[in-house]
Amino acid sequence: MADTKTADIRAVLGGGTPEDRLAAVHILVGAVFLLIGSVAAVLSFFALRFPDLIPVSYGRLEPIANLTLVIGFGVVSLVGGIYYALPRLTGTRLWNARLAGLGLLGTTGLVTLGVLAVALGLGSGRQPFGLPWWLDIPMLGVLAVPFMVTGRTIAERQERRSYVTVWFMLGGVTWLPLLYAAHVAGHLPSLGVLAVAYNDLFLSSGLQTMVILTLGSGLFYYTVVRELDVPLASRQLAMVGFWSLGFASVWWGTAQLIFGPGPDWVSGVAAALGLALPVGALANAANVSLTLEGSWDETSTHPGVAAGVTGTYLAVGVGAIAAFAGFRSVAAVTALTGFWEGVEYALIAGVGALLVAGTTLPSLPRLLGREIVSRQRARTFTRLTLAGSVGVLVAMAAHGLLSGYSWIGGANTGEFVSVGEGWGTGVGAGGDTLLLLALISAVVALMGHLSYASTVFGTLVRGRAVPQEVLVSMGVEDE
C-alpha cells in the first residue's frame, strides 16, 4: 500500500483505475469550490444587510456564489460521482476518460474566469450566473462532456439490466447541456426581454431540480444499497421520483414572475407542475426510508449515508415551500422578494451539499484507499449544514413575506407608510433583523461546508490506509 505522504500523484489519489482517480479529482475540486461559493454566499448576505460596509455589491456576489456552488461544486462533484458509480453499474470502462478529464479542466477554468469576470463588472447581469456570452458558449461545450461520456459508456455496458441510478445519471447529464443551451440562446438579439427572463429562471430552477436533485438522489440510491448491503425497497417509487424531478419540477421557477408581464396561463401551469418538486422529493425520501427499514442503526457508523438521508428529507420540506409559493394567491406576496433567495440557497447549499456528501464521503475509501479521517467531522458537517440552510430559508422566507405584504399595503393605500406613524420604519427594522439572522445562518452553513472540505482533504493526506477496491472490466483479460 502506498504511503499517504508520497509525492507521486497516482499514489496520492489511490492505486486504482484512471476512472477512479478522475472521480477523486472531481470530488477534490468540488470541495474547493464549495468553500469559495459558501464564502461568497456569506458576503452576499452581508452586502444585503450592510451594503455600505462592503465594496462589492450584492448584484455581483450572488452570481459568483451561484456559479461556484451550482457548477463548481454541485455539477463537478456529482459528475465525479457518476464516473465513480458508472463503471461499477455497467461493468465496462469509462468511455474516453481523457475527454472527461479535459471536461473537468475546462469547467474549472471557466468557473474561475467567470468569477473574475463578474467581480470585475464584465458580466451580463443575467441570472443565475451573470456570465458574458464569450464564457457562456464554451461553458455549454464543457457541460456537454459528461453527457457524451455517460451516454457512450452506457451504450457499451456489459450489465444488461439497468439499476435505477443509471436512469437518474442519464437524465441529469442530458438536461444539463439542454438547459444551458436554452440559456445561451438568451444572448441572441432577436430574443425579447421577457423570453430572456423566463430562460434564466428555467436554467436556475432546472439546474437545481433536474440536475442536482436528480443526480444527487439517483447516486444516493446506489450509495445506500452498496454501503448498507440492503435491497432497494421500490423501483417504482424511484421512477416516480425520477420522472417528477426530471420533467415537471422546473416549473416552480416561473412562480417568481407571476403577476408580471407574462401570459396568464403561466400561473396555472406553475402551480400545477410545480407540485412535481415535492412529489418527486417525497417519493425518493419514502423509498430511502423503506430501504433503510431494519438498518437505521447502521447509519450511525456511516456518516455519508446519514448526510444523504438528511438531504432527501430536507428536499421534501424545501420543495413543499417552493410549490406552496407557486400558487397565485401566495405568489402575489412572494414574487420578486427575498423569499426565493432562501428557497434557492436551501436547495443548493443545503439539499445539494448533503446529497453530494451522501455519495462522495462513502466513495472516498474506495477511490483513495484511505479511511475517512474523522467520522465526527462528517457528522458535524451534516448538523451545521442542516441548521444553517434551514435558518437561511426561514429568515429569507419571512423577509420575503414581510416585504410582499408591505408592498401590497402600500399599493392598496397609495402610500408607503400605510398603518400608523412610523409603520414603515418598524417594518424596515424587522426586515433588517431577518437579514441579520440569514447572515448568521449562512455563517453556520459555511462552518458545515468547511467541515466537509476538511474531511475530504484530510482523508486524502491523513486517512488511514485500507484495502482499495480495484475495478476489472467484464470480458477484459488482464494484460
The three state secondary structure string of 348-369 is: HHHHHHHHHHHHHHHHHHHHHC
How long is the chain?
A: 479
72 near 33, Cβ under 8 Å?
yes
In a domain, 3, yes or no: no
What DSSP element (H or E) covers 260? none
pLDDT of 418:
45
How many folded domains does the chain comprise? Answer: 1
What's residue 257's pLDDT?
Answer: 84
For residues 269 and 251, the answer to whether their CB atoms sit within 8 Å is: yes
Residue 413 located in a structural domain: yes
Q: Let me know if residue 1 belongs to a domain.
A: no
Does the residue 66 lie in any domain?
yes
Task: Judge whether 80 lies within some domain.
Answer: yes
Distances in Å between the Cα of 444 and the Cα atoms of 42, 326, 396 are 10, 29, 15
In a domain, residue 157? The reply is yes
CB atoms within 10 A of CB 469: 15
**CATH number for the domain including 210?**
1.20.210.10
User: What does the pLDDT read at residue 270?
Assistant: 86
Residues 6+ apart with CB under 8 A from 52: none
Residue 116 lies in a domain: yes
Per-residue pLDDT of the chain (479 residues; tens, 9 = 90+): 334 443 445 555 655 678 899 999 999 999 999 999 999 999 999 999 999 899 999 999 999 999 999 999 999 999 999 999 999 999 899 999 999 999 999 999 999 999 999 999 999 989 899 999 999 999 999 999 999 999 999 998 887 778 999 999 999 999 999 999 999 998 988 888 888 988 899 999 999 999 999 999 999 999 999 999 999 999 999 999 999 998 888 888 888 888 777 788 888 888 888 999 999 999 999 999 999 998 898 888 999 999 999 999 999 999 999 999 988 889 888 988 899 999 999 999 999 999 999 999 999 999 998 999 999 999 999 999 999 999 999 999 999 998 888 777 665 555 554 444 454 555 667 888 999 999 999 999 999 999 999 999 999 988 888 776 766 655 544 43
User: From the CB of residue 221, how many other CB atoms can be counted at a distance below 10 Å?
Assistant: 28
- In 161-302, which ranges are continuous DSSP H helix? 164-184, 193-206, 214-228, 235-247, 265-273, 276-291
The boundaries of the domain holding residue 304 are: 12-462
Q: Decide: helix, strand or coil at residue 264.
A: coil
In a domain, 208, yes or no: yes
